[in-house]
């Protein structure tokens, strides 16, 4: 704009202007690159050591070292972890932990916050990844078949039953894929049928703040708080196959509650 003297007067960029937005994004890229490199420099040497250790030592005996790996990795990535336990959550129960799936850090978040030994159901294709796949198999994760062939599904059920019978809880992402908008997607019935057939209780788990921290569609890391809600135990022994839809919807509502509240709060801010 022009002043009274006819000279041009510079006007500062308004908040939220393209220049300011570009500067914020540039800083986010620099910060994220630094944090990814920091995580890699820590994770790969320690993980390699744990893989070698797993050859000679039962993974249950170095569970503390695995939890430390997850906690430190999340701290280096910029996430502050907070745990909220419901009064009806019992860490001594052998259960299925059903969790919303957000990003690649989900296993680290869960293993750093769930206070008991557990393993997870993971896509079978991941077991073919060099080193990582061997580690997942050695640590006792259960492969989920990429194709729904009856023989593969029976093997998954057999391995899941063996894990539960040996006192190992299992963590499952019932959506089967990571969210794209932060909300909890539809659940598949498989794990609910499994829980009913085994008579194994279910613990819904809500991971809140993970979507703001890292999204499936972006590699950027935005430091913040990730809160894990461990809800009350849900019994399944007296339920029948006809109860699967109601159980599935009940668990979905429990998991979605804190997540939807968190999304609404983040938009207001």
CA-CA distance, 209 to 109, in Å (whole number)? 11
Its pTM surpasses 0.85: yes
CA-CA distance, 91 to 256, in Å (whole number)? 22
Token code pair at residue 237: 């022994």
DSSP label of 201: -
Of the candidates 120, 45, 105, the one whose C-alpha atom is nearest the C-alpha of residue 75 is 105
- Residue-level pLDDT at 150: 84
CA-CA distance, 264 to 268, in Å (whole number)? 6
The enclosing H or E element of 120 equals strand 118-123
Contacts of 81 (CB under 8 A, 6+ apart): 71, 74, 109, 112, 113, 225, 226, 227, 228
Of the candidates 224, 220, 231, the one whose C-alpha atom is nearest the C-alpha of residue 266 is 224
Per-residue model confidence as pLDDT tens digits over 157-211: 999 999 999 999 999 999 989 999 999 999 999 999 999 999 999 999 999 999 9
Token code pair at residue 100: 């919303």
97 has pLDDT over 70: yes
Q: Which of 58-67, 113-122, 137-146, 192-201 has the lowest mean pLDDT?
A: 137-146
The enclosing H or E element of 183 equals none
CA-CA distance, 187 to 12, in Å (whole number)? 50
Name the architecture of domain 79-268. 3-Layer(aba) Sandwich (3.40)
Per-residue confidence band for 131, with pLDDT thresholds at 50, 70 and 90: low
What are the extents of the domains in the chain? Answer: 79-268
125 has pLDDT over 60: yes
| Residue showing tokens 């000279």 | 7
Per-residue confidence band for 264, with pLDDT thresholds at 50, 70 and 90: confident
Per-residue model confidence as pLDDT tens digits over 59-95: 788 889 989 999 999 999 999 999 999 999 999 999 9
Per-residue confidence band for 1, with pLDDT thresholds at 50, 70 and 90: very low
* Residues 85-92: contacts with CB under 8 Å, at least 24 apart: 85/230, 86/229, 86/230, 86/231, 86/232, 87/232, 88/231, 88/232, 88/233, 89/203, 89/230, 89/231, 89/232, 89/233, 90/233, 91/115, 91/116, 92/116
CA-CA distance, 188 to 7, in Å (whole number)? 68
| Residue showing tokens 């209780």 | 201
Token code pair at residue 266: 């983040």
Higher pLDDT among residues 168 and 152, named by residue? 168
CB 241 within 8 Å of CB 200: no
């Amino acid at each position: 704009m022009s002043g009274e003297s006819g000279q041009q007067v510079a006007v500062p960029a308004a908040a939220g202007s393209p220049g300011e937005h570009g500067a914020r994004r540039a800083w986010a890229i620099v910060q994220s690159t630094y944090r990814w490199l920091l995580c890699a420099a820590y994770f790969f040497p320690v993980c390699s050591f744990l893989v070698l250790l797993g050859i000679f030592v039962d993974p249950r005996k170095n569970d503390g070292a695995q939890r430390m790996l997850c906690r430190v990795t999340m701290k280096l990535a910029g996430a502050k972890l907070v745990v909220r336990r419901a009064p009806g959550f019992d860490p001594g129960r052998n259960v299925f932990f059903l969790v919303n799936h957000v990003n690649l850090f989900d296993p680290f978040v869960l293993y750093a916050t769930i206070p008991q030994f557990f393993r997870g159901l993971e896509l079978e294709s991941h077991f073919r990844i060099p080193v990582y796949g061997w580690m997942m198999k050695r640590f006792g994760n259960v492969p989920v078949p990429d194709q729904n062939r009856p023989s593969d599904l029976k093997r998954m059920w057999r391995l899941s039953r063996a894990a539960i019978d040996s006192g190992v809880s299992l963590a499952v992402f019932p959506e089967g894929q990571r969210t794209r908008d932060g909300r909890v997607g539809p659940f598949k019935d498989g794990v609910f049928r499994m829980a009913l057939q085994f008579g194994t209780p279910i613990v819904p788990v809500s991971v809140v703040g993970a979507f703001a921290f890292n999204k499936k569609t972006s590699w950027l890391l935005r430091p913040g708080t990730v809160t894990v809600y461990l809800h009350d135990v849900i019994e399944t022994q007296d339920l029948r196959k006809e109860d699967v839809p109601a159980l599935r919807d009940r668990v979905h509502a429990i998991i979605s509650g804190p997540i939807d509240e968190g999304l609404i709060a983040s938009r207001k801010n």
